[in-house]
Amino acid sequence: MLQVSRLATIGEMAAGVAHELNQPLTAIANYAQACDRLLARPAANLEDIHTALREIAAQAVRAGDILRRLRSLARSQPMRRERADINAVIEEILDLLTADARAHRGMLKFEPAPALPPVSIDSVQLQHVIVNLVRNGLEAQADSASETRELCVRTGLCTGGEVEIAICDNGPGLSPQALERLFDPFFSTKPEGTGLGLAISNTVVRAHDGSLVHQPNQPRGACFYIRLPSEPAAA
Protein backbone atom coordinates (compact mmCIF):
# COMPACT_ATOMS: atom_id res chain seq x y z
CA MET A 1 0.00 0.00 0.00
CA LEU A 2 2.82 2.37 0.82
CA GLN A 3 4.44 1.69 -2.53
CA VAL A 4 1.16 2.33 -4.29
CA SER A 5 0.65 5.59 -2.43
CA ARG A 6 4.18 6.72 -3.24
CA LEU A 7 3.68 5.90 -6.91
CA ALA A 8 0.39 7.78 -6.85
CA THR A 9 2.23 10.79 -5.47
CA ILE A 10 4.84 10.54 -8.21
CA GLY A 11 1.95 10.26 -10.69
CA GLU A 12 0.40 13.42 -9.30
CA MET A 13 3.72 15.13 -9.60
CA ALA A 14 4.23 14.02 -13.21
CA ALA A 15 2.09 16.79 -14.68
CA GLY A 16 3.94 19.37 -12.63
CA VAL A 17 7.30 17.87 -13.55
CA ALA A 18 6.48 17.94 -17.27
CA HIS A 19 5.55 21.61 -17.00
CA GLU A 20 8.54 22.43 -14.84
CA LEU A 21 11.07 20.69 -17.12
CA ASN A 22 9.54 22.22 -20.21
CA GLN A 23 10.75 25.68 -19.19
CA PRO A 24 14.50 24.93 -19.01
CA LEU A 25 14.28 22.68 -22.08
CA THR A 26 12.57 25.39 -24.14
CA ALA A 27 15.16 27.91 -22.97
CA ILE A 28 18.00 25.53 -23.91
CA ALA A 29 16.52 25.00 -27.38
CA ASN A 30 16.12 28.76 -27.92
CA TYR A 31 19.63 29.61 -26.78
CA ALA A 32 21.11 26.81 -28.90
CA GLN A 33 19.29 28.15 -31.97
CA ALA A 34 20.56 31.63 -31.13
CA CYS A 35 24.14 30.28 -30.96
CA ASP A 36 23.66 28.66 -34.34
CA ARG A 37 22.49 31.96 -35.86
CA LEU A 38 25.25 33.98 -34.17
CA LEU A 39 27.92 31.59 -35.45
CA ALA A 40 26.57 31.82 -38.98
CA ARG A 41 27.41 35.53 -39.10
CA PRO A 42 30.69 36.55 -40.74
CA ALA A 43 31.95 38.44 -37.65
CA ALA A 44 30.46 36.32 -34.86
CA ASN A 45 30.21 38.12 -31.50
CA LEU A 46 31.91 35.72 -29.11
CA GLU A 47 30.59 37.52 -26.01
CA ASP A 48 26.97 36.93 -27.07
CA ILE A 49 27.73 33.28 -27.79
CA HIS A 50 29.39 32.97 -24.39
CA THR A 51 26.34 34.39 -22.64
CA ALA A 52 24.02 32.01 -24.47
CA LEU A 53 26.20 28.99 -23.63
CA ARG A 54 26.33 29.95 -19.95
CA GLU A 55 22.56 30.22 -19.95
CA ILE A 56 22.27 26.77 -21.54
CA ALA A 57 24.52 25.32 -18.83
CA ALA A 58 22.52 27.01 -16.02
CA GLN A 59 19.20 25.77 -17.40
CA ALA A 60 20.54 22.22 -17.73
CA VAL A 61 21.68 22.32 -14.09
CA ARG A 62 18.20 23.47 -13.06
CA ALA A 63 16.54 20.60 -14.95
CA GLY A 64 19.03 18.19 -13.36
CA ASP A 65 18.20 19.47 -9.86
CA ILE A 66 14.52 18.76 -10.37
CA LEU A 67 15.20 15.25 -11.65
CA ARG A 68 17.64 14.45 -8.84
CA ARG A 69 15.09 15.34 -6.16
CA LEU A 70 12.48 13.13 -7.80
CA ARG A 71 14.87 10.26 -8.29
CA SER A 72 15.84 10.29 -4.63
CA LEU A 73 12.16 10.00 -3.75
CA ALA A 74 11.66 7.04 -6.10
CA ARG A 75 14.86 5.32 -4.97
CA SER A 76 13.98 5.40 -1.30
CA GLN A 77 11.31 2.73 -1.72
CA PRO A 78 10.33 0.38 -0.33
CA MET A 79 9.86 2.05 3.00
CA ARG A 80 11.42 0.09 5.86
CA ARG A 81 9.87 0.88 9.21
CA GLU A 82 11.54 -0.13 12.42
CA ARG A 83 11.09 0.76 16.06
CA ALA A 84 13.36 3.66 16.81
CA ASP A 85 14.17 6.24 19.43
CA ILE A 86 13.64 9.57 17.70
CA ASN A 87 16.35 11.30 19.75
CA ALA A 88 18.92 8.69 18.61
CA VAL A 89 17.77 9.12 14.99
CA ILE A 90 18.39 12.87 15.27
CA GLU A 91 21.72 12.34 17.10
CA GLU A 92 22.91 10.38 14.06
CA ILE A 93 22.61 13.45 11.81
CA LEU A 94 23.46 16.08 14.44
CA ASP A 95 27.02 16.60 13.11
CA LEU A 96 25.64 17.08 9.63
CA LEU A 97 23.00 19.57 10.84
CA THR A 98 25.54 21.47 12.96
CA ALA A 99 27.91 21.73 10.00
CA ASP A 100 25.07 22.92 7.79
CA ALA A 101 24.14 25.57 10.36
CA ARG A 102 27.75 26.73 10.54
CA ALA A 103 27.93 26.91 6.74
CA HIS A 104 24.89 29.21 6.95
CA ARG A 105 26.63 31.24 9.70
CA GLY A 106 23.99 30.17 12.20
CA MET A 107 23.73 28.08 15.34
CA LEU A 108 21.91 24.84 15.91
CA LYS A 109 20.38 23.84 19.24
CA PHE A 110 19.12 20.33 19.95
CA GLU A 111 16.77 19.88 22.91
CA PRO A 112 15.83 16.20 23.27
CA ALA A 113 12.99 15.33 25.65
CA PRO A 114 13.84 12.44 28.00
CA ALA A 115 11.99 9.10 28.11
CA LEU A 116 10.07 9.37 24.81
CA PRO A 117 8.17 6.30 23.63
CA PRO A 118 9.54 4.59 20.50
CA VAL A 119 8.21 5.32 16.99
CA SER A 120 7.91 3.01 13.99
CA ILE A 121 9.76 4.77 11.19
CA ASP A 122 12.04 4.53 8.20
CA SER A 123 14.89 6.39 9.90
CA VAL A 124 16.65 7.42 6.69
CA GLN A 125 13.47 8.94 5.26
CA LEU A 126 12.73 10.79 8.50
CA GLN A 127 16.30 12.07 8.58
CA HIS A 128 15.78 13.45 5.05
CA VAL A 129 12.68 15.28 6.24
CA ILE A 130 14.52 16.78 9.21
CA VAL A 131 17.43 17.87 7.01
CA ASN A 132 14.95 19.50 4.61
CA LEU A 133 13.20 21.44 7.38
CA VAL A 134 16.45 22.50 9.06
CA ARG A 135 17.83 23.64 5.70
CA ASN A 136 14.69 25.72 5.06
CA GLY A 137 15.02 27.34 8.48
CA LEU A 138 18.69 28.15 7.94
CA GLU A 139 17.99 29.57 4.48
CA ALA A 140 15.16 31.69 5.89
CA GLN A 141 17.56 33.27 8.40
CA ALA A 142 20.15 34.25 5.78
CA ASP A 143 19.27 37.95 6.08
CA SER A 144 18.72 37.99 9.87
CA ALA A 145 21.14 39.64 12.31
CA SER A 146 23.87 37.15 13.21
CA GLU A 147 22.98 36.97 16.95
CA THR A 148 19.42 35.87 16.14
CA ARG A 149 20.42 33.25 13.55
CA GLU A 150 19.49 30.26 15.66
CA LEU A 151 17.72 27.09 14.69
CA CYS A 152 16.20 24.86 17.33
CA VAL A 153 15.37 21.16 16.97
CA ARG A 154 13.27 20.00 19.91
CA THR A 155 11.54 16.70 20.65
CA GLY A 156 8.59 16.15 22.92
CA LEU A 157 5.43 14.23 23.68
CA CYS A 158 2.00 15.61 22.67
CA THR A 159 -1.01 15.23 24.92
CA GLY A 160 -2.47 12.77 22.38
CA GLY A 161 0.58 10.51 22.83
CA GLU A 162 2.30 11.38 19.54
CA VAL A 163 6.01 12.00 19.44
CA GLU A 164 6.76 15.47 18.15
CA ILE A 165 9.82 16.96 16.50
CA ALA A 166 9.76 20.76 16.35
CA ILE A 167 12.07 22.66 14.02
CA CYS A 168 11.97 26.39 14.72
CA ASP A 169 13.81 29.34 13.24
CA ASN A 170 13.99 33.09 13.84
CA GLY A 171 13.68 34.11 10.20
CA PRO A 172 10.96 36.34 8.75
CA GLY A 173 8.37 33.53 8.87
CA LEU A 174 6.18 32.39 6.02
CA SER A 175 4.77 34.93 3.60
CA PRO A 176 0.96 34.81 3.15
CA GLN A 177 1.58 33.44 -0.35
CA ALA A 178 3.86 30.68 0.94
CA LEU A 179 1.32 29.79 3.64
CA GLU A 180 -1.32 29.19 1.00
CA ARG A 181 0.87 26.98 -1.18
CA LEU A 182 3.10 25.47 1.47
CA PHE A 183 3.02 21.82 0.41
CA ASP A 184 2.48 22.42 -3.31
CA PRO A 185 5.21 20.80 -5.37
CA PHE A 186 7.33 23.43 -7.18
CA PHE A 187 6.23 26.36 -5.04
CA SER A 188 9.46 28.17 -4.20
CA THR A 189 10.49 31.76 -3.51
CA LYS A 190 14.19 30.91 -3.90
CA PRO A 191 16.04 31.47 -7.16
CA GLU A 192 17.70 28.04 -6.89
CA GLY A 193 14.86 26.22 -5.12
CA THR A 194 13.04 23.25 -6.63
CA GLY A 195 10.07 23.75 -4.30
CA LEU A 196 10.00 19.99 -3.68
CA GLY A 197 11.44 19.98 -0.14
CA LEU A 198 8.19 20.50 1.77
CA ALA A 199 6.04 18.52 -0.69
CA ILE A 200 8.28 15.46 -0.30
CA SER A 201 8.58 15.95 3.47
CA ASN A 202 4.80 16.08 3.80
CA THR A 203 4.41 12.91 1.70
CA VAL A 204 6.97 11.03 3.80
CA VAL A 205 5.42 12.07 7.14
CA ARG A 206 1.92 11.14 5.94
CA ALA A 207 3.18 7.74 4.77
CA HIS A 208 4.19 7.27 8.42
CA ASP A 209 0.61 8.02 9.54
CA GLY A 210 1.91 11.26 10.96
CA SER A 211 1.36 14.94 10.25
CA LEU A 212 3.51 17.90 9.31
CA VAL A 213 2.14 21.24 10.46
CA HIS A 214 3.35 24.80 10.52
CA GLN A 215 2.86 27.43 13.20
CA PRO A 216 4.45 30.86 13.44
CA ASN A 217 7.34 31.04 15.91
CA GLN A 218 7.31 33.67 18.69
CA PRO A 219 8.29 36.48 18.41
CA ARG A 220 9.24 35.76 14.80
CA GLY A 221 10.07 32.96 12.42
CA ALA A 222 8.54 29.64 11.48
CA CYS A 223 8.02 26.39 13.40
CA PHE A 224 7.42 23.07 11.68
CA TYR A 225 6.08 20.16 13.74
CA ILE A 226 6.44 16.55 12.69
CA ARG A 227 4.03 14.41 14.75
CA LEU A 228 4.34 10.63 14.67
CA PRO A 229 2.21 7.97 16.35
CA SER A 230 4.10 6.35 19.20
CA GLU A 231 4.53 2.62 19.74
CA PRO A 232 3.85 0.86 23.00
CA ALA A 233 7.08 0.62 25.00
CA ALA A 234 8.83 -2.77 24.81
CA ALA A 235 7.83 -5.15 27.58
Ligand X SMILES: Nc1ncnc2c1ncn2[C@@H]1O[C@H](COP(=O)(O)OP(=O)(O)OP(=O)(O)O)[C@@H](O)[C@H]1O
Please give the residue ranges that form the binding site for ligand X (CB under 6 A): 136-137, 140, 169, 171, 173-174, 178, 187-190, 193-199, 222
197 near Mg ion (CB under 5 A) = yes
Give which of Mg ion, ligand X, none residue 174 binds (C-beta under 5 to 8 Å, depending on kind). Answer: ligand X
Binding mask 7-26 for Mg ion (x = CB under 5 A): --------------------
Q: What is the 3-state secondary structure (H, E, C) of the chain?
A: CHHHHHHHHHHHHHHHHHHHHHHHHHHHHHHHHHHHHHHHCCCCCHHHHHHHHHHHHHHHHHHHHHHHHHHHHHHCCCCCCEEECHHHHHHHHHHHHHHHHHHCCCEEEEECCCCCCCEEECHHHHHHHHHHHHHHHHHHCCCCCHHHCEEEEEEEECCCCCEEEEEECCCCCCCHHHHHCCCCCCCCCCCCCCCCHHHHHHHHHHHCCCEEEEEECCCCCEEEEEEECECCCCC
Give which of ligand X, Mg ion, none residue 28 binds (C-beta under 5 to 8 Å, depending on kind). Answer: none
Closer CB to Mg ion, 24 or 197, in the complex: 197
* CB closest to Mg ion, residue no: 197
Q: How far is the CB of 213 from ligand X (least distance, A)?
A: 13
Closer CB to Mg ion, 136 or 155, in the complex: 136
Q: How far is the CB of 132 from Mg ion (least distance, A)?
A: 6
